Structure 1
Amino acid sequence: MIRPATMADADVIRACTRAAFGRYVVRMNREPAPMQADLAPAIAQGQVHVATGPDGCILGHVICRRVGRDMALDTLAVWPNHAGRGLGKRLVAHVETLARQQGLKAVTLYTNAAMVENLPFYEGLGYSCTGRNREDGFDRVFFRKPLG
């Protein structure tokens, strides 16, 4: 099940983010941006959605927000022991559904160039690379998927 996050979920979401992105710290020589993010405003604004197991435990989450006529997917994180089971794909599909429900035209996102595993993942979901740029000290790869 995927549901909106509540403030009561914040500590588990932070821990999931740290676990999911921790492997990239060595590659990047710093913490990835999602590990530094303040979750409270995003949760309060309904931008955070969690995927839960049958027991209600949080298995992963996504953070997304409307930007003009697009939905920006800011963070996708899955606990490492639940990775590779299609949960990330389900969370991305959830973002796409939210965007369609709001009449938006596309989903956009970026990932760090050091997170090379993410590039074929997003391409496999129909996202096209729209460019690369250095922002806030991070080498980012940008993607977009038009919604039909």
Structure 2
Amino acid sequence: MNSIRPTRHSDLVVLQQIELAAGALFRDVGMPDIADNPLPTIEALAAFQEADRSWVTVDDDDQPIAFVLVMIVDGLAHVEQVSVSPAYARQGLGRRLIDHVDAWAVEQGMAALTLTTFRGVPWNGPYYQRIGFVTLAAEERGPELTQLMVQEAAHGLDPAERIAMRRPTRLHR
């Protein structure tokens, strides 16, 4: 079974490659603009890594095949990005990373995980709903999560297609 470990600085270029490959799948659902979004910079990825809020799933050769980036938003663990190399898709790696973040959030004393995602993309909103996330109404979002969604819209993400979701950590279910 593939293991999860903290991201190392030497992994960051591989994370960009995973993001590029995973992002290309948006072309298949008619969202080429998302597929063409700029990659996260090494500096941005390093900020998560240096803050100890980035983990990778690795293959048997200790090479990253999936990753998760986490922010703290409204005092909760906010899943900023989960990406799985398409060659390893549909093997539960994303869910394992989310569960890893859940365990980390419990250690930090956080009650829930949040994220923002596309409402109708099969591996976005519907997927997160299957693993226990619920869509938040606007009035259920904290101020930082609300501001994050405003920033997403300012960067060209259609607010009508975006949702915020929340899942209680395992200790709060």
Report the TM-score, using the length of structure 1 for normalisation.
Answer: 0.88
Instruction: Decide whether aligned partners of structure 1 residues 48 and 84 sit closer, same or farther in structure 2, where only a CA change above 3 A counts.
Output: same
Q: Which amino acid aligns with 1:72?
A: H
Q: CA RMSD in A?
A: 2.1
Cα distance in structure 2, aligned partners of 1:59 and 1:86: 12
Instruction: Name stretches of at least 5 consecutive residues in structure 2 with no aligned partner.
Output: 139-148
Q: Secondary structure at the match of 1:138?
A: coil
Identity, % of aligned pairs? 28
Match in the other structure for 1:65: 71
Higher strand proportion (structure 1 or 2): 1
Aligned length: 148
Q: Deviations for 1:84-110, whole angstroms, at most 9, x for unmatched residues?
A: 011111011011111111010110001
TM-score normalised over the length of structure 2: 0.76
Q: Look up the SS of the partner of 1:49 in the other structure.
A: strand
8 Å contact 1:112–1:138 — kept in the other structure?
no
Q: Secondary structure at the match of 1:30?
A: helix
Matches within 5 A, 1:3-14: 3-14=5-16
In structure 1, the partner of 2:19 is 17
Equivalent-residue separation in structure 1 for 2:120 and 2:25 (angstroms): 11
Larger Rg: 2
Amino acid at match of 2:57: A
Q: How does 1:22-41 map to 2 (within 5 A)?
A: 22-25=24-27, 27-31=30-34, 35-36=39-40, 38-41=44-47
Amino acid of the structure 2 residue aligned with 1:15: Q
For structure 1, which segment, 121-130 or 42-51, has the greater mean C-alpha deviation from structure 2 after superposition? 42-51
Give the one of 97, 117, 120 matched to 1:91.
97
Decide which of 132, 145, 148 is 2:167's aligned counterpart.
145
User: Which range moves more in the overlay, 89-98 or 26-35?
Assistant: 26-35
Q: Secondary structure at the match of 1:50?
A: strand
| In structure 1, C-alpha distance between the alignment counterparts of 2:82 and 2:164, rounded to whole Å | 14
Q: Please, which of 106, 116, 123 is the counterpart of residue 110 of structure 1?
A: 116
Segments of structure 1 that go 5 or more residues without pairing to the other structure are none
Change (3 A) 1:114 1:19: farther
